[in-house]
Chains A and B, each alone.
Chain A
Amino acid sequence: MYEHDVIVVGAGGAGLRAAIAAHEEGADVALVTKLHPVRSHTGAAEGGINAALREGDDWELHAYDTMKGSDYLGDAPAIDTFAQDAPEEVIQIEHWGMPFSREEDGGVSQRPFGGMSFPRTTYAGAETGHHLLHTMYEQVVKRGIEVYDEWYVTNLAVTDHDDPENRQCHGAVAYEIATGTVEGFWARNGVILATGGLGQAFDHTTNAVANTGDGCAMAYRAGVPMEDMEMIQFHPTTLPSTGVLISEGVRGEGGILYNDEGERFMFEQGYANNDGELASRDVVSRAELTEVNEGRGIEDEYVDLDMRHLGEERILDRLENILHLAEDFEGVDGLDEPMPVKPGQHYAMGGVETDENGETCIDGLYAAGETACVSLHGANRLGGNALPELLVFGARAGHHAAGKDMKTAEIQTGPSARSEPGDVAPPIEPGAVDTGSDDVAADGGERSSSDLRTDGAMVEPKETLEHAVQQERTRVETLLEDDGINHAEVRSNVQQTMTENVNVFREEAGLHQALHDLRQARERYENVAVSDPSRTYNTDLIHTIETRNVLDVAEAITLGALAREEFRGAHWRAEFQQRRDQEWIKHTMLAWNDGDPELYYKPVLLESEHKEYEPKERSY
């Protein structure tokens, strides 16, 4: 068993920032990642980092833009905290050597981005995330913070009280990929989940193969509610054949979108008469698909993004990476011809419910970055707001977990924050598949932990961890020894139905279809097995365990989408094409409830200690 004060799961931007923060507070901190830190998907972020740094801008404007961008589903205390902390965080990484793009005077450059009322997006070429990731990993090396790389965390050690708000997290269980060893990681103070996105629930995504929603799924099964899972961002400019992202920076610098008739449709078809291409991402994605659906798409699939008029010098200076991506992954020379683009899954606004300090309702369990839902982005994340989010809330979670004295959070978490019960009628029974046996191999282990449940009785913390380790060892052995189907078929079924039915445009029938398909996939997953018998670097086993997580998050997304009967931000419903503020300024919350998912709502906080936000029509 390994022991540390703070265990950070995942070593992308949020995890690295959290680890540095906890270390600053004097904690003995360890990063546990299934990759190596520099392989994390933060490295693929292109566009930039928003922060109010300059004269004429201030945090309140940034907060206002973010609230408007969220379509009034963000919580004011989260948004205010974020916009206030962002400038200091950005300067902090500059002090750590981040190679930002520069102005003539040597100051950090900022450019316009979608939905921003001021050019406040700092950047490093079109590879901002790569530089941010490496800069922070370098600081982790400098501090000698322990990194367990290629250790895959498969479960959390959480006590088993009936009420999740009485549960405690004492650590995590991880599988060493190189050797096949399962070990416990005892966390004296806390565990921070920073496992990134869940894009592998879809088949056309900008996300990495490793983005399988591990942190969300583990927290969900441990009893932390998932918040606003239906809010999935589809980025308007991804390459059609691979889903590789073409940065919003292209439009920020002046890139133009054209349909098959050569129309600049964002203006000419009236989607965004003021901001055009720089309208919020959900607006542009819907516009593109509407063009395609109405027969004005190119090859009935995509539209063109043209940046040639920016000139070679400016493109090479600020967007060179885009030329490489378009060339390598679509065979197109961006200096010579327009680049084909279409919407692709990009980001999960929802996730593990936390407060402004990164805490979940389970004592000692935190989440930060894309894994978490504070809620900052609400129904739609603005470009350039993800990287400052992982800095701000990664740092806050790290500080809090290490015991720093921080202001009490305004956001309430856990089932006690419920304002009303949910109203959704799925066509199937969602949640765990009841096999009538105690087989823990395929079910993520949650059932046997409920066998142990003796509510009210204190369970020894170390016993909790040891029990979790034992369960994971059994799960691994069972998966290795059994015969069964390959997980890849199951995962591919999930991805296809999600992209077909839970995409930019959503209809009730499609959502029902997706739930049916997911149920079938869950049942098939009960029969998965790993055919590679080896304990050495068994990626078949890793992917099989990940697929269980993909299933849980895909179902949560779809249930949220079915429940939310309105059009808000990224979530559009054919039957309900209006934002319905009277009824729907509330978060959809989903509790795993020991395998029998339960939907409920919690109010959106439009008021913070600083100000009150009035919902307005969102036009760009």
Chain B
Amino acid sequence: MSTQIEQETETEESADESVTEPPVESPGDRRRQQKRERASRLDEQRRVEEEVSEDEETVSLKIFRYDPEVEGKEEPRFDDFTVPFHKGMTVLDALIYARDHYDSSLTFRHSCRQAVCGSDALFINGRQRLACKTQIGDLDSGTVRIEPLPHQAVVKDLVVDMEHFYDQMEAVEPYFDADDLPDDELEEQYQSRENREKVKMSTRCIWCGACTSSCNIAAGDNEYLGPAAINKAYRFAMDEREGEQRKQDRLRIVEQEHGVWRCQTQFSCTEVCPKDIPLTEHIQELKREAIKNNLKFW
């Protein structure tokens, strides 16, 4: 079973913005801008809340439920929960509260609570996000709608089967494998700062699966490697420490029928990546590398 039926197609909304985004501002400027925007949103929210009542603030959750072996849950449904709201509350906090206070069978993966373990990528208000780094105050609608990642088989409630995702990751030979290593076991390989900078963003991937879930191509072609796996291939193909021979092998892997050429640059992966990895750019760059490479052998 899949949640595709439930899917609301909101993921494409801002693909254009990210293409036309002015490249000149520094990360600091961008961060300050986002902060100002958030502050004004928070102000607005505060005004709204003051008007509402002096009662305890609450937030409503609408959560996808499914369990293949429990009576009443074999048919997917949504359950409503109302939990107390506090400033700074994340979607994960709300889920934990609902589970620990109302229904201990409410099931979702989570571990680190700080956006590094990649366990809790969910479909929140129609978009792939990490529950732990999604502030409820930042969401637009009054009710938070929480579903499992689309395009993956649901195991139970918000838990999806990640096996296919892991298989795709492993299909790109995702491990460092240098042509040559220093003979001395106490001598490091050298890597220029520029080269490290080049692969830096690609090494941030936390295998959460948000990108692949957001990708229309991956949804239609189960064999497509998908953005996360291709990014992993990029991470090694661009690492100067590995050497030219290995790079050739890597380019052959991503060039296959279900590799980089399937990508139609819709930017949905880049949009949802919680680690801000420029996935689409990485895929495009591998396409260019593959072409250059093929020309070389003509």
Contacts of B133 in A (CB 8 A): 328-329
Asked whether, in the complex, the Cβ of B32 is within 8 Å of the Cβ of A208, the reply is no
Asked whether, in the complex, the Cβ of A532 is within 8 Å of the Cβ of B105, the reply is yes
- Bitwise interface map of B from 32 to 61 toward A, beta carbon under 8 Å scored 1, else 0: 100100100000000000000000000000
Instruction: Kindly state whether residue A92 has any CB partner on chain B within 8 Å.
Output: yes
From B275, which residue of chain A is reached at the shortest CB distance?
A324
**Given A138-B174, A535-B69; A38-B155 close (CB under 8 Å):** no
Give bound CA distance, A41 to B119, whole Å: 11
**Given A142-B177, A208-B112; A534-B70 close (CB under 8 Å):** yes
Asked whether, in the complex, the Cβ of A534 is within 8 Å of the Cβ of B69, the reply is yes
Q: Which of the candidate stretches B13-21, B139-147, B185-193, B260-268 sits at the interface with the other chain?
A: B185-193
Give bound CA distance, A61 to B280, whole Å: 47
From A134, which residue of chain B is reached at the shortest CB distance?
B203
Give bound CA distance, A312 to B31, whole Å: 12
Within the complex, the shortest CB–CB distance from B35 to chain A, in Å, comes to: 5
Asked whether, in the complex, the Cβ of B159 is within 8 Å of the Cβ of A537, the reply is yes
Within the complex, the shortest CB–CB distance from A259 to chain B, in Å, comes to: 23
Q: Which of the candidate stretches A100-108, A157-165, A213-221, A403-411 sits at the interface with the other chain?
A: A100-108
Specify which of B32, B110, B205, B236 is in contact with A97 (CB 8 Å cutoff).
B236
Q: Which of the candidate stretches A331-339, A391-399, A438-446, A579-587 sits at the interface with the other chain?
A: A331-339
**Given A39-B117, A540-B105; A91-B110 close (CB under 8 Å):** no
For residues 309 through 344 of chain A, which have their beta carbon under 8 Å from a beta carbon of chain B?
312, 316, 320, 323-325, 327-331, 333, 335-336
Instruction: Kindly state whether residue A574 has any CB partner on chain B within 8 Å.
Output: no
Within the complex, the shortest CB–CB distance from A193 to chain B, in Å, comes to: 19
Asked whether, in the complex, the Cβ of A536 is within 8 Å of the Cβ of B67, the reply is yes
Q: What would be 8 A-B contacts, judged by CB atoms less than 8 Å apart? A: A43-B112, A94-B188, A94-B189, A106-B192, A125-B200, A242-B114, A536-B68, A537-B155
**Given A39-B119, A537-B159; A99-B199 close (CB under 8 Å):** yes
Asked whether, in the complex, the Cβ of A95 is within 8 Å of the Cβ of B67, the reply is no
Asked whether, in the complex, the Cβ of A325 is within 8 Å of the Cβ of B166, the reply is no
From A101, which residue of chain B is reached at the shortest CB distance?
B196
Give bound CA distance, A329 to B90, whole Å: 9
Contacts of A329 in B (CB 8 A): 88, 114, 133
Q: Classify the secondary structure of B's interface with A.
A: loop
Contacts of A125 in B (CB 8 A): 200
Instruction: Kindly state whether residue B288 has any CB partner on chain A within 8 Å.
Output: no
Specify which of A104, A324, A328, A540 is in contact with B193 (CB 8 Å cutoff).
A104
For residues 69 through 84 of chain B, which have their beta carbon under 8 Å from a beta carbon of chain A?
69-70
- Bitwise interface map of B from 119 to 152 toward A, beta carbon under 8 Å scored 1, else 0: 1000000000000010100000000000000000
Instruction: Kindly state whether residue B245 has any CB partner on chain A within 8 Å.
Output: no
The 4 closest A-B pairs by CB, nearest first: A97-B176, A532-B105, A106-B190, A138-B175
- Bitwise interface map of B from 232 to 245 toward A, beta carbon under 8 Å scored 1, else 0: 00001001011000
Give bound CA distance, A132 to B11, whole Å: 33
Contacts of A331 in B (CB 8 A): 38, 88, 135
Asked whether, in the complex, the Cβ of B206 is within 8 Å of the Cβ of A96, the reply is no
Instruction: Kindly state whether residue A539 has any CB partner on chain B within 8 Å.
Output: yes
Within the complex, the shortest CB–CB distance from B71 to chain A, in Å, comes to: 9
Give bound CA distance, A88 to B185, whole Å: 7
B-to-A contact residues, CB < 8 Å: 26-28, 31-32, 35, 38, 67-70, 88, 99-100, 104-105, 107-119, 133, 135, 155-157, 159, 162, 166, 170, 173-178, 181-182, 185-193, 196, 199-200, 203-207, 236, 239, 241-242
Asked whether, in the complex, the Cβ of A138 is within 8 Å of the Cβ of B176, the reply is yes
Specify which of B107, B190, B193 is in contact with A539 (CB 8 Å cutoff).
B107
Tally the A-B contacts, defined by beta carbons under 8 Å: 180
Asked whether, in the complex, the Cβ of B67 is within 8 Å of the Cβ of A91, the reply is no
Give bound CA distance, A484 to B294, whole Å: 67
Asked whether, in the complex, the Cβ of B239 is within 8 Å of the Cβ of A97, the reply is yes
Specify which of A102, A127, A335 is in contact with B192 (CB 8 Å cutoff).
A102
Instruction: Kindly state whether residue A172 has any CB partner on chain B within 8 Å.
Output: no
From B101, which residue of chain A is reached at the shortest CB distance?
A488
Asked whether, in the complex, the Cβ of B162 is within 8 Å of the Cβ of A36, the reply is yes
Give bound CA distance, A106 to B187, whole Å: 12
**Given A97-B175, A99-B196, A102-B191; A534-B241 close (CB under 8 Å):** no
Within the complex, the shortest CB–CB distance from A250 to chain B, in Å, comes to: 16
Give bound CA distance, A401 to B241, whole Å: 33
Contacts of B156 in A (CB 8 A): 534, 536-537
Specify which of B108, B113, B206 is in contact with A208 (CB 8 Å cutoff).
B113
Most chain A CB within a 10 A radius of its CB, from B177, B178, B192, B193: B193
Give bound CA distance, A105 to B236, whole Å: 21
Instruction: Kindly state whether residue A298 has any CB partner on chain B within 8 Å.
Output: no
Contacts of B107 in A (CB 8 A): 532, 537-539
Instruction: Kindly state whether residue A506 has any CB partner on chain B within 8 Å.
Output: no
Contacts of A316 in B (CB 8 A): 27-28
Asked whether, in the complex, the Cβ of A335 is within 8 Å of the Cβ of B111, the reply is no
Within the complex, the shortest CB–CB distance from B243 to chain A, in Å, comes to: 12
Give bound CA distance, A95 to B31, whole Å: 36
Instruction: Kindly state whether residue A513 has any CB partner on chain B within 8 Å.
Output: no
Instruction: Kindly state whether residue A44 has any CB partner on chain B within 8 Å.
Output: yes
Within the complex, the shortest CB–CB distance from B171 to chain A, in Å, comes to: 11
Give bound CA distance, A103 to B190, whole Å: 9
Within the complex, the shortest CB–CB distance from B184 to chain A, in Å, comes to: 9
